[in-house]
Chains A and B, each alone.
Chain A
Amino acid sequence: EAQVTQNPRYLITVTGKKLTVTCSQNMNHEYMSWYRQDPGLGLRQIYYSMNVEVTDKGDVPEGYKVSRKEKRNFPLILESPSPNQTSLYFCASSLLASGRASAGELFFGEGSRLTVL
């Protein structure tokens, strides 16, 4: 089954304790992205990646890191989490970068709800 898998789905942590949210897709998509969603603010893009070893900042990258060492994985790293990073996080992937005219659909994971105390 084609899917984007995020882990963990739920996490409560404390300020300053490094954590990683993993994201894996099995669709051979080149494009991957992380979003955070907060009440009243909609979905905001954190980082995105056009392909392996190619990453770039979205609208709200502060406090986050990413890496894209393999095509299928795009982990989100919070080196020193703070309470303002409490949010619902979504990973997404797409064939956008493949050059196919029919591309344009983003596939989302089920979300990771993070609470930083």
Chain B
Amino acid sequence: LAKTTQPISMDSYEGQEVNITCSHNNIATNDYITWYQQFPSQGPRFIIQGYKTKVTNEVASLFIPADRKSSTLSLPRVSLSDTAVYYCLVGDIWDDKIIFGKGTRLHILP
């Protein structure tokens, strides 16, 4: 399993685009990159998953450079309700151990 490194915390303002970068230098060929969001006292919720280049859904975009040693979760036009902890996970879809790091605590200010 590739180890991931994320910023511990970030602040931003409503209406801004927020980019959270995750470093995963030891990513393996079969590894996917997955991001989860967690609100206080709730279970994490799947946001987006990708393998390379760019993936976009109704919630976020995921940018993965060609070397795949990092990835960036992009949240467009954030609101106060986007205040949460965001986790980056890297692993093979066949991984049985799924490891969450400490995540990035995103605080959106009015």
Contact = CB atoms under 8 A, between A and B. Distances in A.
A88 to B, nearest CB: 7
B81 interface: no
Given A42-B103, A45-B99, A106 B36 contact: yes
Interface stretch (B14-22, B44-52, B61-69): B44-52
Contacts, number: 66
Nearest to A57: B97
Interface string A58-99: 110000000000000000000000000000101010101100
Contacts of B99: 45, 59
Interface string B50-81: 00000000000000000000000000000000
Interface in A20-75: 31, 33, 35, 40-45, 48, 50, 56, 58-59
A109 B66 CA distance: 35
A19 interface: no
B32 A104 contact: yes
Contact of B45 (A44, A45, A56, A108): A108
Contacts of A110: 42-43
Given A104-B93, A108-B43, A111-B41, A48 B102 contact: no
B51 to A, nearest CB: 10
Contact of B93 (A44, A92, A103): A103
Contacts of A58: 97
A104 B34 contact: yes
A31 B43 contact: no
Contacts of A41: 102
A94 B34 CA distance: 13
Given A97-B96, A104-B93, A106-B46, 8 more contacts: A33-B98, A56-B96, A56-B97, A58-B97, A96-B94, A107-B46, A110-B42, A111-B42
Interface of B: 32, 34, 36, 41-46, 49, 87, 93-103
Interface of A: 4, 31, 33, 35, 40-45, 48, 50, 56, 58-59, 88, 90, 92, 94, 96-97, 101, 103-111, 113
